[in-house]
Homo-oligomer: A and B are copies of this chain.
């Protein structure tokens, strides 16, 4: 996996450095998580204590630009990053209104809506669907 990403980086004239490898490892170790830049910084410092926050931001954005990571905003004023899952390009998020945990949801089913939009003259490129809910764990806790 890292080899593949390294090639992707080099295709775009980006070098695979120790810092980038550390950040990538963090993202791979936490596959399925949605990490903020700060969270990535702390985890990356376990592997490389001197890494700086600017490098984290730069690297995360670079990795997002070559589609190794997704970058998205969950209505809390900061971006979060997650590893792209090969193949499953379409996935939605369920955000727990209590604990804040983010669950992923496979599947699309928005085709009919997209078709309706295209029939009005738009060209739809992407979409973003979030559900706000109470998760099973939080519901049980009450």
A residues touching B (Cβ–Cβ < 8 Å)?
Answer: 72-73, 75, 77, 92, 94, 97, 103, 105, 107, 109-110, 112-114, 116-117, 120-136, 139
B133 touches A117 (CB 8 A): yes
List 13 extra interface pairs beyond A122-B136, A128-B129, CB under 8 A.
A72-B75, A94-B122, A97-B125, A122-B133, A123-B133, A123-B139, A124-B132, A125-B133, A127-B129, A127-B131, A127-B132, A128-B131, A128-B132
Chain B residues contacting A97 (CB-CB under 8 Å) are 125
Question: Oligomeric state, in number of copies?
Answer: 2
What are 15 A-B interface contacts by the 8 Å CB criterion? A75-B128, A94-B122, A97-B125, A105-B117, A107-B113, A113-B131, A120-B136, A122-B131, A122-B135, A122-B136, A124-B133, A126-B131, A126-B132, A127-B132, A128-B132
A139 touches B117 (CB 8 A): no
- Interchain CA distance A5-B102 in the complex, whole Å: 35
Pick from B77, B122, B128, B132: contact of A130, CB below 8 A.
Answer: B128
B123 touches A134 (CB 8 A): yes
Known: A123-B139, A125-B97. A117 touches B131 (CB 8 A): yes
- Interchain CA distance A121-B11 in the complex, whole Å: 44
B139 touches A132 (CB 8 A): no
Pick from B105, B113, B128: contact of A109, CB below 8 A.
Answer: B113
